[in-house]
Chains A and B, each alone.
Chain A
Amino acid sequence: MSILNLLKIAFRALRRNKLRAFLTMLGVIIGVAAVIAMMAIGQGSKQSIQSSLSGMGSNMITVQPQSNTPGSVRLAGSSIQTLKLEDVEAIKRLRSDNINGLSPVVSSGGQAIKGANNWPTSITGIVPDYLHIRQLELQDGIMFSDNDVKKSAKVCLLGKTVIDNLFTDGSNPIGQIIRFKSIPFQVIGTLVPKGQSNFGQDQDDIILAPFTTVRNRITATTYLQSIYASAVSEAASDAATAEITASIRESHKLLPSQDNDFQVRTQAQLIATITATSSMLTVLLTAIAGISLLIGGIGIMNIMYVSVTERTREIGLRMSIGARGKDILMQFLIEAVLISITGGILGVLLGITSAYLIAYFLQWPILISQSSIVISFLVCGVTGIFFGYYPAQKASKLDPIEALRYE
């Protein structure tokens, strides 16, 4: 009994019951389509979150003040004044190979004014390193220099939202003067728009100015809101974090028994946390879709059992004209696998189509991975064999004499 003959026999048997074969297949089609579409949505949203987070600087390390409960009173984060410029100097003195960018950050909210226009925003005081730490790019103009920082120069860079609201006439902002909290700043550059962050924040609603200018003329404080640094690579970010932690602890003169009065976070950790949530979502969606595939498989088993009973005489006939038990087993097994594989192919097509329809109509990010197609296809084949085996075995064990007389 050649495989080709068996295939032909199984195919002819299915052809005799097209509608039933199709209805049985439908369970598998829907199951596979659901798995593919759900994985496409899950992985798509995961990828989009991941890429926008890395867009914020995947090697970025942020240091923020944190209450260490002195005298059992917990203070709000914003009122904690533990980070100082000395901490930045301490980190800088490390000359670490793991760190390739470092910037103190002070910021202040307030009204930006240009002529008759004004806009509530905030100003961020930084050093030139900040641009590459945050992966910001200049659209036009130039970045201020370290010298400008030293001199507390009254220069600034604007984000697109600020430009749109202050320069409503569409004139070129470069070279013009704006005021922030009555301090005049000359615009020397504009930033490439970054759009909304994952948290719904407008990343273009910013004014960047030299750190010293903001600290001396606007906030008039000695403490820092935060320190931004960047590791040379994602792999180096753990080592960099450890070095930064150690040097700030030393500079804060913390005893080993004391907790940190600051918090060091890497972007990598943030990405891991957020993508873990979305991975879980993908797993959940896929599991639900997988259940429908399982139900499709049970449908195959059900129909194959009915089919074996209904075709008892056919089985008896086949045996009487020379089919061995093995041939009957293979025939029914191949029928089941043909149903599930054909259902799998149609399901993959339907799944891809519906994923694209979702992307088109709902504007959701999707990602159809080859692995999801291969996996659901394999699962289909296994489903066919698994759920087809018992009915096929039942068929092959029939006694030809009784099967022929079966009414």
Chain B
Amino acid sequence: MANKILELHELKREFVMGEMTVRALKGLSFEINAGEFVTIMGSSGSGKTTLLNILGCLDKPTEGSYFLDGIDIKGLDRDELAGLRNKKIGFVFQSYNLLPRTNALENVELPLFYNKEITADERKERAIKALEAVKLSDRFDHTPSQLSGGQQQRVAIARALVNEPVMILADEATGNLDTRTSYEIMALMQDLNAQGKTIVFVTHEPDIAAFSSRTIMLKDGKLQKDSINENPRSAKEALASLPTSDDY
């Protein structure tokens, strides 16, 4: 049942900066199947961000091909890419990127506003379900400033879930959080993965990568290592092993 969500073949991305050509990605090929929890790792300058932008359909490769859920993004224009992002991808950012002074429910509804097939009632219903899935059913009318960092990130995850994407694309999603909250977020990610969601998690923390089922290491725009993690660490257990309260 190897249903390929992502298919990269000899993917290259070059940036022209004046007279210099910066080759950020130098020919990447890998596939990701449905239901995988993949972390993409690499030091800064490894091409991680460039790859993330391409995977998220925010950017297009210079050469090579990229199929997302069977769709070749090469021939798509700006608007079609936007439509693809709307239907196939759920973004989770490091800095949450929630709309300020807007309550959680409205923040989660946002992607559905750009999908005209969805009615107002359906929109609300799905946003409520997504917030329930991230265990924030009692925070519907809280604005971001009334929520903790972890809660804000959970709202952001709910927003990524609401359009029922084929893939959740997280960009350093735990980067702004303390260890405990990071583990909570990872536990949530693992739950979602267990429910069948495909997750691609970009990070530079090996600690976080241990929770995934597969790790792709990048170095200098090339694939350095693609390893299956036979025995991913359970975030729930990690959470339980942390001291229950801080010392101060």
Q: Tell whether A pairs with B.
A: yes
Judge if B184 is at the interface, Cβ distance under 8 Å.
Answer: no
Q: A374-404: contact bitstring with B at CB < 8 Å (1 yes, 0 no)?
A: 0000000000000000000000000011001
Q: How far is the CA of A404 from the CA of B111 in the complex (A)?
A: 16
The residue that A318 contacts in the complex, of B58, B59, B110, B163, with Cβ under 8 A, is B110
5 A-B pairs besides A318-B114, A325-B79, A325-B82 with CB distance below 8 A are A1-B113, A12-B106, A316-B97, A320-B58, A321-B159
Q: B134-159: contact bitstring with A at CB < 8 Å (1 yes, 0 no)?
A: 00000000000000000000000001
A325 CB contacts on chain B under 8 angstroms:
78-79, 82
Contact B82 A323 (CB under 8 A): yes
Contact A1 B99 (CB under 8 A): no
The residue that A321 contacts in the complex, of B53, B101, B111, with Cβ under 8 A, is B111
- Closest residue of chain A to B159 (Cβ to Cβ) is A321
Q: B91-112: contact bitstring with A at CB < 8 Å (1 yes, 0 no)?
A: 1010001011110001000110
CB distance from A335 to the nearest CB of B (A): 14
Judge if A194 is at the interface, Cβ distance under 8 Å.
Answer: no
Judge if B115 is at the interface, Cβ distance under 8 Å.
Answer: yes
Q: A291-306: contact bitstring with B at CB < 8 Å (1 yes, 0 no)?
A: 0000000000000000
The residue that B86 contacts in the complex, of A9, A321, A326, with Cβ under 8 A, is A321
Between A1, A9, A16, A324, the greatest number of chain B beta carbons within 10 A of the residue's beta carbon is seen for A324
Contact B53 A8 (CB under 8 A): no
Q: B46-66: contact bitstring with A at CB < 8 Å (1 yes, 0 no)?
A: 000000010010110000000
Judge if A319 is at the interface, Cβ distance under 8 Å.
Answer: yes
Contact B113 A9 (CB under 8 A): yes
Between B97, B102, B113, the greatest number of chain A beta carbons within 10 A of the residue's beta carbon is seen for B113
Contact A5 B82 (CB under 8 A): no
Interface size of A in residues (CB-CB distance below 8 Å): 25
A320 CB contacts on chain B under 8 angstroms:
56, 58, 85, 91
Contact B53 A401 (CB under 8 A): yes
CB distance from A179 to the nearest CB of B (A): 88
A318 CB contacts on chain B under 8 angstroms:
110, 114
The residue that A314 contacts in the complex, of B82, B87, B99, with Cβ under 8 A, is B99
Residues of chain B from 172 to 203 with CB closer than 8 A to chain A in the complex? none
CB distance from A334 to the nearest CB of B (A): 13
Judge if A313 is at the interface, Cβ distance under 8 Å.
Answer: yes
Judge if B83 is at the interface, Cβ distance under 8 Å.
Answer: yes
CB distance from B91 to the nearest CB of A (A): 5
Q: How far is the CA of A371 from the CA of B53 in the complex (A)?
A: 54
A2 CB contacts on chain B under 8 angstroms:
116
Q: How far is the CA of A320 from the CA of B115 in the complex (A)?
A: 13
Q: How far is the CA of A316 from the CA of B106 in the complex (A)?
A: 17
Judge if A317 is at the interface, Cβ distance under 8 Å.
Answer: yes
Q: How far is the CA of A404 from the CA of B87 in the complex (A)?
A: 19
Judge if A327 is at the interface, Cβ distance under 8 Å.
Answer: yes
Contact B113 A404 (CB under 8 A): no
Judge if A322 is at the interface, Cβ distance under 8 Å.
Answer: yes
A326 CB contacts on chain B under 8 angstroms:
79
Q: How far is the CA of A184 from the CA of B14 in the complex (A)?
A: 115
Contact A327 B59 (CB under 8 A): no
A321 CB contacts on chain B under 8 angstroms:
85-86, 91, 110-111, 114, 159, 163
The residue that B114 contacts in the complex, of A12, A316, A322, with Cβ under 8 A, is A322
Q: B155-172: contact bitstring with A at CB < 8 Å (1 yes, 0 no)?
A: 000010001000000000
CB distance from A22 to the nearest CB of B (A): 15
Q: A1-34: contact bitstring with B at CB < 8 Å (1 yes, 0 no)?
A: 1100100110010001100000000000000000
- Closest residue of chain B to A321 (Cβ to Cβ) is B111
A324 CB contacts on chain B under 8 angstroms:
78-79, 82-83, 114
A314 CB contacts on chain B under 8 angstroms:
97, 99
CB distance from B100 to the nearest CB of A (A): 7
Question: Provided the pairs A320-B56, A401-B58 are in contact, do residues A313 and B114 lie with their beta carbons within 8 angstroms?
Answer: no
- Closest residue of chain B to A320 (Cβ to Cβ) is B91
Q: How far is the CA of A404 from the CA of B179 in the complex (A)?
A: 25
- Closest residue of chain B to A407 (Cβ to Cβ) is B95
Contact A12 B102 (CB under 8 A): yes
- Closest residue of chain A to B84 (Cβ to Cβ) is A322
8 nearest A-B pairs in the assembled complex, by CB-CB distance: A322-B86, A16-B101, A321-B111, A322-B114, A324-B82, A317-B97, A324-B79, A5-B113
